[in-house]
Amino acid sequence: MLETCIGKLKLEKPGMVASGIMDETGASMVRMLESGAGAVVTKSIGLEPNAGHANPTFTEVKGGFVNAMGLPNPGIKMFKEEMNIAVPKGKIIGSIYGASADDFSKLAITMEEYGASAVELNLSCPHAKGYGMELGTDPKLVGSIVSAVKSAVKIPVWAKLTPNTHILTDIGVAVQDAGGDAVVAINTLKAMVISPEFAKPFLSNKFGGLSGPGIKSVGVRAVYDLGSVLDIPIIGVGGIADWRDAAQYIMAGASAFQIGSAIANKGPTIFDTINKDMIKFMRDFGYSSILDMVGVAHE
Ligand SMILES: Cc1cc2nc3c(=O)[nH]c(=O)nc-3n(C[C@H](O)[C@H](O)[C@H](O)COP(=O)(O)O)c2cc1C
């Protein structure tokens, strides 16, 4: 009942771990798969090891979290060990970031070699200079990166989009026109927290990204907008904490969803809880599969 498809990629369960939460080690990824996630998206991995930003990098706010981790990761070479542990246990999506189409292609080729079921291009981090959002708000650049990666690998190529733009649907169309297999929406909203006592920004990087319940309605709107113009599948993410949140994304047009911040609040059991509650809702309201619910809010 919970099976879904993102293009050719089949998932037994529609909820995935979003990039950046409980997905930096093989052991944590396995734990999430065993807790009812249909797949795990890895932490975004670059060509070289990266220490990330100096502390403080994370703080709680009303309605969620603001973080500016700065994409800390061990680099693609070292990540092989973690993939070797996780890949035999379930579907792992390799999230990658780079500064050019060439970087993304190299990383995607290696993720494919490591056994990733798909690659997710992080074109949307709001707090990494020269990466992420700075690339992901230019439809031409996005198109050239997606098309380069598509020619480099056989596995599906997903593009993760930023909500920090007024041309979201143009960017979605650029991904589709370049042959992208799916879009993932949304990454965090660019945000800032100021400490009144110190009279300065709280995060060392000044700016960060807002995640959690406060961004859910923005994410649902983004998926709905993308669903109005795209034929390729959409994966919804942003503020999902229970089955109702997940159902909103699916009905807006998402074939699957991802959860980040709520894992920090509720623990890995969130996946099992959503799976059980979703089945109950589907039985009560006469839906026989997730795919029957995709985009129904548009009708
Ligand atoms: C601590 C933290 C680290 C994150 N790291 C990444 C990352 O490496 N790559 C990425 O594409 N998104 C990253 N994200 C964004 C999430 O994948 C997700 O898009 C966003 O948090 C919205 O979902 P949520 O409200 O369920 O957390 C991160 C989010 C948080 C809170």
| pLDDT 10s digits, 36-61 | 999 999 999 999 999 999 999 999 99
Residue 126, pLDDT score: 73
- Distance from residue 17's CA to the centre of ligand 1 (Å): 10
> From atom 28 of ligand 1, which residue's Cα is the shortest distance away?
20
Band (102; pLDDT cuts 50, 70, 90): very high
**Pairing mode, if any, of strands 157-161 and 182-185?**
parallel
Q: Which atom number of ligand 1 is nearest to the Cα of residue 239?
A: 25
Closest Cα partner for 259 from 14, 16, 3, 10?
Answer: 16
Domains and CATH numbers, the chain: 4-298 (3.20.20.70)
- Distance from residue 212's CA to the centre of ligand 1 (Å): 9
| pLDDT 10s digits, 223-272 | 999 999 999 999 999 999 999 999 999 999 999 999 999 999 999 999 99
Question: Is 90 exceeded by the pLDDT of residue 168?
Answer: yes
Helices (H), the chain: 26-34, 76-86, 101-113, 133-136, 139-152, 168-177, 216-229, 243-252, 261-266, 270-285, 290-293
- Distance from residue 272's CA to the centre of ligand 1 (Å): 21
Residue 202, pLDDT score: 97
Average pLDDT over residues 164-169: 96
Cβ-proximal residues to 148 (8 Å cutoff; 6+ apart), any chain: 101, 102, 104, 105
Write the DSSP assignment of 155-214 as a string of letters.
S-EEEEEPSSSS-HHHHHHHHHHTT-SEEEE--PEEEE-EETTTTEESSTTSEEEEESGG
**Three-class secondary structure of residue 240 per DSSP:** coil
What are the structure tokens assigned to 159, written together?
Answer: 């593009």
**Three-class secondary structure of residue 132 per DSSP:** coil
Closest Cα partner for 222 from 242, 249, 241?
Answer: 249
pTM of the model: 0.97
Pocket test for ligand 1, best of 69, 193, 218, 266 (most atoms within 8 A of CB): 69
Band (107; pLDDT cuts 50, 70, 90): very high
Percent of the chain with pLDDT over 70: 99
> From atom 18 of ligand 1, which residue's Cα is the shortest distance away?
187
- Distance from residue 224's CA to the centre of ligand 1 (Å): 20
Q: Which residues are catalytic?
A: 125
CB 155 within 8 Å of CB 119: yes
CB 211 within 8 Å of CB 182: no
Measured between alpha carbons, how far is residue 19 from residues 55, 147, 171, 287 in Å? 20, 22, 20, 29
**Three-class secondary structure of residue 98 per DSSP:** coil
Ligand 1 binding site (Cβ under 6 Å of any ligand atom): 18-21, 43-44, 65, 67, 69, 71, 95, 122, 125, 160, 187-188, 211-212, 215, 237-240, 259-262
